[in-house]
Amino acid sequence: MTRILSISLSKGGVGKTTTAVNLSAALALTGRRVLLIDTDTQAQAGKALGLRPERGLADLMMGHADFAEAAVEARPNLHLLAGGHRLAAVKQVIAEADMRQEETLSAVMLPYVAHYDYVILDTSPGWDNLQINVLFFAQEILTPVNLEVLSLDGLIEFTHRIEDVRRYHDVVLRYILPTALDRRVKQTAEIMPQLAVHFGDRVCEPIRYNVRLSEAPAYGQHIFEYDPQSNGAQDYLNLTRRIVADE
Ligand SMILES: Nc1ncnc2c1ncn2[C@@H]1O[C@H](COP(=O)(O)OP(=O)(O)OP(=O)(O)O)[C@@H](O)[C@H]1O
Ligand SMILES: [Mg+2]
């Protein structure tokens, strides 16, 4: 069975793309077939893998390319449907659909998901009809939270939005992933227990602050290529083990 996992939080700069790219890479390295879909107009996921494909998700959704043209093989076992500014036009198409606007992405993707073990979605910050489509397509959500800038309020508001979607579509917030953890910062020590109170064992082992994670995208490499010995590689491997254990 394919797992469809979205990396989502309305807040920007929390580690969504870093997580989507490195988790996808780690899953592919285990031999699982992975499709990484970038639903962000900034197209950062492709860039982080050293790719700027001409075609991507927007072309598929607009009917300008078929799946084989729109998806590129980024690495062995890892296919990418790239994001990009043309997704702005997709939002217009969704808004003009006569029926079931929220399921536009699901309907387009349905024929292709069974080919993969994992579909991982990188999402943009903010909240728009494409992000709603992502939640209607996903089965599971992983929410990265940056402890240094975390507003628990923002996170709880996001969980309410998921609850709204759950009235129509079966999706669960399954993983909360603290990112860029720096235990020297007092605030992080205060927030971890609060996260545990709200989310219990859905809180994953944190991804530590690791400068190698922030350097790798400039080289077009994921962390297992750029520095497999780094804390960042270790932490993302650890996360991958946890997710795989839930198969
Ligand atoms: N654990 C970490 N240690 C150090 N730097 C990190 C870590 N995780 C992410 N970063 C860096 O923090 C910045 C924001 O991360 P990222 O781009 O993954 O966030 P995002 O949630 O995708 O942002 P956006 O909402 O803009 O799409 C990037 O420069 C990234 O390289
Ligand atoms: Mg991003």
How many folded domains does the chain comprise? Answer: 1
Dihedral class, residue 133 (left if φ above 0, else alpha if ψ from -120 to 50, else beta) = alpha
Q: Is 210 in the pocket of ligand 1 (CB under 6 A)?
A: yes
Q: Is 239 in the pocket of ligand 1 (CB under 6 A)?
A: no
DSSP state of 205: P
| Surrounding residues of ion ligand 2, Cβ less than 5 A | 16-17, 44
Ranges of residues in the chain with a pLDDT under 50 are: none
Ligand 1 atom nearest the C-alpha of 215 is: 31
Q: Is 126 in the pocket of ligand 1 (CB under 6 A)?
A: no
| Minimum CA distance residue for ligand 1 atom 10 | 214
Q: Which residues contact 239 (CB under 8 A, 6 or more apart)?
A: 19, 23, 26, 177, 204, 205, 207
CATH of the domain at 135: 3.40.50.300
Q: Is 14 in the pocket of ligand 1 (CB under 6 A)?
A: yes
Q: Is 206 in the pocket of ligand 1 (CB under 6 A)?
A: no
Distance between Cα 200 and ligand 2 center (Å) = 26
Which structural domain range is residue 211 located in? 3-245
Model confidence over 213-234: pLDDT tens digits? 999 999 999 999 999 999 999 9
Q: Is 213 in the pocket of ligand 1 (CB under 6 A)?
A: yes
Neighbours of 129 (CB within 10 A): 18
Model confidence over 180-191: pLDDT tens digits? 767 666 667 778
